[in-house]
Structure 1
């Protein structure tokens, strides 16, 4: 069936069928095994390991014959990121008594002191500076992520199994403010999770004096790296297509476990590499930018820096296709298909599917995946930008088990192959995708 689809798409595009079959599983395995291997130690965001991964991707772009992007003298783009680190564990007190085993989930980077408000309403209506959250649905993380940070400075939630599991998935360490050098930090509430006994005891102390102290905060400056290759087009007025993925992951956790990030997102980076190799053989009407972003895992820094310092004007980017977690087949989707986040928001997905791409709508709308990947920062700027994924809720997500051995490289190979003809058609056509009514996201 796949061969028939590829052949039909190739003939429709006027491309010899042999060119549609240009992705080998051996090549896919080679790239993925290195990117997710021991040598790169999980490609931690804004680390030398991330930079090494970017250098590998940049070397491949150069080897495929891609040029440096307009205005750039090399194949990498860097930015400085300022991070705060805890010098010693956070200290939480209630009426002057220290509470044992607080789990600092995230922080504004400032000490917090004040009067406790025990609150069971909706997060949007919370207005006290310090809130102990008892939402009706029991989802403290949802509550904490929905408060107004200009009003609520500290949210205390229950450290249930879901919270502890998610804490491990974000790297097993608190998330403290990170900014580009020279920029102010974004407002954010501090989130603290307490064990059941401590949480229940505090829930009976509305009006208590509480304090969270962050001793020994240290400011660190690190560098994040994007890898960028460029295939110029033949028609300067036709615009550019952007094919992207993020190359970083969580690196080494504080407990010493390595977070390999094979599916997330070595697999997507492999897709960009393989498409670069397949498409670089000839010029197309549109130019094509191939980008592997750094520091997605700590706040989308690579894509945000690219969007603020693009090598071509953003209004020249006709479409952005991001690849993330294409290393496994989703059991909810037809065999071989990948999902496109925000599929219903524009006419890009349905058009690529009509030209042979194995795409389907996102079966997890409640997860809001469209807003959770690097495509979103460009979508907010008006570019039709979507992410293509395999199994977005794969059990190995953000665990040490996200390894090369757990990739389905056969599925990856077939999926990438299905995209070559449609993307080649997009690069050679005059079709420019549009948002459907209400589909374009807006800055809040």
Structure 2
């Protein structure tokens, strides 16, 4: 048996041997054991929608069962699966102008569909003031992603042609020559986005000098289908009318890179998954609360938040019964900007949830990086957009090991993690036994 499995088994046996009072406390042994297994070599970085992610979900589900949690309402087990359909180029794109090929065209972002239309020359800074057109030849020095976001807000543009620059060359290199094509959950609606194609400077300038150029884009694609897995456990409440508390994290990471490097993801987000497991164990040991509590570990956050999106579209309880969602992500290290032992809550100022938890002893405070828009960058946002008061708690959101090969158990601060998780137990227990319902503040709801 591998070392990670041995540690997990040893911790399980040791904690089960504890008296009930001790089981209601967060255990550093359990924290280390979960981290060691989830971020160990055996799970190869828990790549999104892979067999390794499925093993991680099965592990979490087995722990939920062992803690005495039940399958969620309407489910006959602890796993919720969904199919993801992603598009991939099977041949290079082709772009023609008035029927003649435009050599050197490179796609950055695409819908995977052919597009035809007359190219309208549009200054980037004037996009919001001009009548939108299906095909835009965008001039000016605005960064490509800003052009994309501006066009997305207009809804109408389907194809953006931009001039090659050092920035676009870096983007192509970062994408390894493969455009970012859409993925979607099988059976769920997909919102179309504009495609972005980069043209060599000479070709771009030649088209911009002409009028009424008929452009046609061909994008040959194939479908890649994979399955993502959520693990869900349910601690029923004593009052079905009191609502439900949702505690969540994502269990996937970046998997194995093309060069064979394993991206272990000990902090992102084995640490959050470990927190959900420890909260499940300790809260279950305390007995039933007034409100029911859902414990969820989502799959496929790293490639687009698919697990949380599927959960939001297929929740085991109606979303309007969820009084609050606390997502835990990256609590394996302490941010030096925060008071010692403290975690940040994204969007703290948007609702009363952070203040409620803090008043009961949770070591949480406001996000010191508002310019980074972390509130919109985690699984909480999938539910926040649907009206649920949902926030993410993090230890250090800009930790130097983020998305690197150094995000390993060796770089996790186990004592900090243990204290941080422990600080959430009583506040969450109090909220689960309360009649109080966290609310969005004016202007806080996304």
Is TM > 0.5 for Structure 1 vs Structure 2?
Answer: yes
- Could you say if the C-alpha distance between residues 90 and 297 of structure 1 is closer, same or farther in structure 2, counting changes exceeding 3 Å? farther
Question: Aligned equivalents of 1:92 and 1:261: distance in 2?
Answer: 40
Please tell me whether Structure 1 or Structure 2 has the larger radius of gyration of its CA atoms.
2
- Could you say if the C-alpha distance between residues 171 and 49 of structure 1 is closer, same or farther in structure 2, counting changes exceeding 3 Å? farther
What does residue 151 of structure 1 align with? 157
What do the CA deviations read for 1:163-189 (whole angstroms, capped 9, x no partner)?
A: 847985x89853322222234532111
Deviation at 1:352, TM superposition (A): 0.5
- Could you say if the C-alpha distance between residues 387 and 426 of structure 1 is closer, same or farther in structure 2, counting changes exceeding 3 Å? same
Deviation at 1:380, TM superposition (A): 2.0
Q: Is the 8 A contact 2:110 2:195 kept in 1?
A: yes
Deviation at 1:438, TM superposition (A): 1.7
What does residue 306 of structure 2 align with? 301
Match of 1:361 among 366, 390, 399: 366
What do the CA deviations read for 1:407-435 (whole angstroms, capped 9, x no partner)?
A: 33332222111111111111122221111
TM (norm. structure 1) is 0.84
Question: Aligned equivalents of 2:104 and 2:384: distance in 1?
Answer: 44
1:206 aligns to 2:211 (yes or no): no
What do the CA deviations read for 1:15-55 (whole angstroms, capped 9, x no partner)?
A: xxx76982233322221222222222222222222211111
1:71 aligns to 2:74 (yes or no): yes
Q: Is the 8 A contact 1:245 1:268 kept in 2?
A: yes
Q: Is the 8 A contact 2:87 2:183 kept in 1?
A: yes
Match of 2:222 among 210, 218, 221: 218
1:277 aligns to 2:277 (yes or no): no
- Could you say if the C-alpha distance between residues 203 and 251 of structure 1 is closer, same or farther in structure 2, counting changes exceeding 3 Å? farther
The gaps in structure 2 that reach 5 residues or longer are 1-20
Secondary structure of the 1:82 match is strand
What does residue 272 of structure 2 align with? 268
Deviation at 1:199, TM superposition (A): 4.7
Question: Aligned equivalents of 1:337 and 1:395: distance in 2?
Answer: 18
- Could you say if the C-alpha distance between residues 239 and 110 of structure 1 is closer, same or farther in structure 2, counting changes exceeding 3 Å? same
Question: Aligned equivalents of 1:133 and 1:363: distance in 2?
Answer: 36
- Could you say if the C-alpha distance between residues 239 and 178 of structure 1 is closer, same or farther in structure 2, counting changes exceeding 3 Å? same
Secondary structure of the 1:30 match is helix
Question: Aligned equivalents of 2:93 and 2:408: distance in 1?
Answer: 33
Q: Is the 8 A contact 1:375 1:386 kept in 2?
A: yes
- Could you say if the C-alpha distance between residues 90 and 261 of structure 1 is closer, same or farther in structure 2, counting changes exceeding 3 Å? farther
- Could you say if the C-alpha distance between residues 116 and 287 of structure 1 is closer, same or farther in structure 2, counting changes exceeding 3 Å? same
Deviation at 1:307, TM superposition (A): 1.5
Deviation at 1:259, TM superposition (A): 3.1
Q: Is the 8 A contact 2:83 2:186 kept in 1?
A: yes
- Could you say if the C-alpha distance between residues 366 and 411 of structure 1 is closer, same or farther in structure 2, counting changes exceeding 3 Å? same
Question: Aligned equivalents of 1:172 and 1:413: distance in 2?
Answer: 43
1:232 aligns to 2:232 (yes or no): no
Deviation at 1:232, TM superposition (A): 0.9
Deviation at 1:393, TM superposition (A): 2.3
Q: Is the 8 A contact 1:105 1:192 kept in 2?
A: yes
Q: Is the 8 A contact 1:171 1:253 kept in 2?
A: no
Question: Aligned equivalents of 2:125 and 2:294: distance in 1?
Answer: 47
Deviation at 1:218, TM superposition (A): 1.1
Question: Aligned equivalents of 1:218 and 1:75: distance in 2?
Answer: 32
Q: Is the 8 A contact 1:314 1:383 kept in 2?
A: yes
- Could you say if the C-alpha distance between residues 301 and 287 of structure 1 is closer, same or farther in structure 2, counting changes exceeding 3 Å? same
What does residue 195 of structure 2 align with? 190
1:410 aligns to 2:412 (yes or no): no
Q: Is the 8 A contact 1:157 1:191 kept in 2?
A: no
Match of 1:31 among 5, 20, 34: 34
TM (norm. structure 2) is 0.84
Q: What number of residue pairs does the alignment pair up?
A: 418
What does residue 322 of structure 1 align with? 327
Show the 5 A alignment for 1:5-20: none
Secondary structure of the 1:280 match is helix
Question: Aligned equivalents of 1:402 and 1:362: distance in 2?
Answer: 22
Q: Is the 8 A contact 1:140 1:158 kept in 2?
A: no
What does residue 81 of structure 1 align with? 84
Q: Is the 8 A contact 2:24 2:283 kept in 1?
A: no
Q: Is the 8 A contact 2:23 2:281 kept in 1?
A: no
Question: Aligned equivalents of 2:379 and 2:301: distance in 1?
Answer: 7
Deviation at 1:319, TM superposition (A): 0.7
- Could you say if the C-alpha distance between residues 433 and 251 of structure 1 is closer, same or farther in structure 2, counting changes exceeding 3 Å? same
- Could you say if the C-alpha distance between residues 189 and 256 of structure 1 is closer, same or farther in structure 2, counting changes exceeding 3 Å? farther
**Root-mean-square deviation over aligned CA pairs:** 3.1
1:342 aligns to 2:344 (yes or no): no
Question: Aligned equivalents of 1:166 and 1:352: distance in 2?
Answer: 44
Secondary structure of the 2:193 match is coil
Q: Is the 8 A contact 1:232 1:283 kept in 2?
A: yes
Deviation at 1:112, TM superposition (A): 4.1
